Amino acid sequence: MPKLFISHATADRAIVNPLRIALGHFGDQVFIAPEGIAPGESGWRTILTAISESELFILVATPAACASESVKREINEALRLGKRIVPLRWGMAHNQLPLSVQTADYQSFDLQSANERARLFDHVGLLTGKSRFWKGVLAAVVVIAILYLLFRE
């Protein structure tokens, strides 16, 4: 059962791949498509199950993700199930998030802003309770964002 579901657009693999690699040691506790879909499985059914079983839904919110019908379907399923959503914005303002996320009043974090990354890191305890797993996951997210900004081409 995944503890963490990461929603993203296929076009954003350059952002998501380092995150997937960094979180790889958590194994099946982290779901990222398409790697989380086994050969021969129904993609959408597997995604629905992963959302249902996850404790936290992270939205890698980019313009491509917010325009993606698949990402919108994932968000709607997470909202329907009452999942906690953490939008991690990349290249967009909070008011550019899908309306369903804005109206649900989820706090979002801009990973391109040093102040926002610090704020996310400060909120790790609030988002995760005292679980070492969650603190490790969110710390990895912040570190990957910083490294991506420093070393992107």
Predicted pLDDT at 116: 81
- Cα-based angle 128, 99, 105 (whole degrees, multiple of 5): 35
Task: Please report, for the domain that includes residue 43, its CATH number.
Answer: 3.40.50.450
Model-level pTM? 0.76
Rounded to a whole number, what is the distance in angstroms from the first to the last CA of the chain?
A: 36
- Containing structural domain, residue 137: 4-151
The angle formed by the CA atoms of residues 115, 106 and 31, to the nearest 5 degrees, is 90
Tokens of 113: 């802003």
Q: Tens digit of pLDDT for each residue in 96-149?
A: 988 888 777 777 888 778 788 777 766 655 555 555 665 666 666 666 665 555
What DSSP assignment string belongs to 49-101? Answer: HHHHH-SEEEEEE-HHHHH-HHHHHHHHHHHHTT-EEEEEESSS-GGGS-HHH
Overall domain count for the chain = 1
